[in-house]
Chains A and B, each alone.
Chain A
Amino acid sequence: DVKVTQSSRYLVKRTGEKVFLECVQDMDHENMFWYRQDPGLGLRLIYFSYDVKMKEKGDIPEGYSVSREKKERFSLILESASTNQTSMYLCASRGTSGNANEQFFGPGTRLTVL
């Protein structure tokens, strides 16, 4: 059973703090993604990675960075959290063989920045 796990379900941080969101997948998938989801705006892609140490900007990368040192792990970093980064953050992974079209999501991290 494919599993994508995220380090926290709920997180509360203060403005200016550095925030790390961790994501781990156990399916040996090449592609990993970070999205944020806000009411009325749907899923917006922040960054994605198609291989270890590779990263590509998504649609809204400003204020975020990512790290992929190992294939199974993809981290999202908020260098200096701001209140407009309060959101639900979803990590996902997808392979390139077999059923390469199915994207698996983690349960999400609801981040509140005060």
Chain B
Amino acid sequence: RKEVEQDPGPFNVPEGATVAFNCTYSNSASQSFFWYRQDCRKEPKLLMSVYSSGNEDGRFTAQLNRASQYISLLIRDSKLSDSATYLCVVNPYSSASKIIFGSGTRLSIRP
């Protein structure tokens, strides 16, 4: 089983729609969680951290479910510019040098 698993997509949704995707992780002791965004032919960049209580940043909401070992990302009122690959990232230990990247979920927003 992979340490971090994501549905690769692609998710193809119309502009203005709400879209959500999940990511599961295998190590129950994992400490911290993130979503990164990667545009086509660009490097990944941090989108947002995921906190235990859930957190929101504008149209983006991230949630963590420790019992079921998954994190989710919800995008409301999607824009064309949201088209990208979204990478789920897990830090398995608080002092780890190495963080674990999922393979990414590709999102395409159509006009």
Task: Note whether A and B form a binding pair.
Answer: yes
Give the B-binding residues of A (Cβ under 8 A). Answer: 31, 33, 35, 40-43, 45, 48, 50, 56, 58, 90, 94, 101-103, 105-108
Of the candidates A41, A45, A101, which one forms a contact with B34 in the assembled complex, judged by CB atoms under 8 Å apart?
A101
Expressed in whole angstroms, the minimum distance between the Cβ of B6 and any Cβ of chain A is 9
> Do A102 and B46 contact each other (CB < 8 Å), given the known contacts A42-B104, A43-B87?
yes
Which of B43, B46, B49 gathers most chain A CB within 10 Å?
A: B43
B72 at the interface (CB under 8 A from A): no
Please tell me if the beta carbons of B97 and A43 are within 8 angstroms of each other in the complex.
no
Q: State which residues 38-76 of B face A: CB under 8 Å.
A: 42-46, 49
Total A-B pairs, Cβ < 8 A? 42
Size band of the B side of the interface? 10 to 19
Please tell me if the beta carbons of B97 and A56 are within 8 angstroms of each other in the complex.
yes
Q: In whole angstroms, how far apart are the Cα atoms of A94 and B8 in the complex?
A: 26
Q: In whole angstroms, how far apart are the Cα atoms of A65 and B84 in the complex?
A: 32
Expressed in whole angstroms, the minimum distance between the Cβ of A49 and any Cβ of chain B is 8
> Do A40 and B8 contact each other (CB < 8 Å), given the known contacts A31-B97, A50-B97, A101-B32?
yes
Chain B residue nearest in CB terms to A43:
B101
Of the candidates B45, B87, B98, which one forms a contact with A58 in the assembled complex, judged by CB atoms under 8 Å apart?
B98
Please tell me if the beta carbons of B43 and A106 are within 8 angstroms of each other in the complex.
yes
Expressed in whole angstroms, the minimum distance between the Cβ of B110 and any Cβ of chain A is 22
Shortest beta-carbon contacts, A-B, top 10: A42-B103, A105-B43, A43-B101, A50-B97, A102-B46, A31-B97, A105-B44, A107-B43, A42-B104, A108-B43
Please tell me if the beta carbons of B43 and A103 are within 8 angstroms of each other in the complex.
no
Chain B residue nearest in CB terms to A45:
B98
Which of B32, B34, B44, B89 gathers most chain A CB within 10 Å?
A: B44
Contacts of A102 in B (CB 8 A): 46
Chain A residue nearest in CB terms to B89:
A103
> Do A103 and B46 contact each other (CB < 8 Å), given the known contacts A40-B8, A45-B98?
yes
Of the candidates B44, B46, B49, B91, which one forms a contact with A43 in the assembled complex, judged by CB atoms under 8 Å apart?
B44
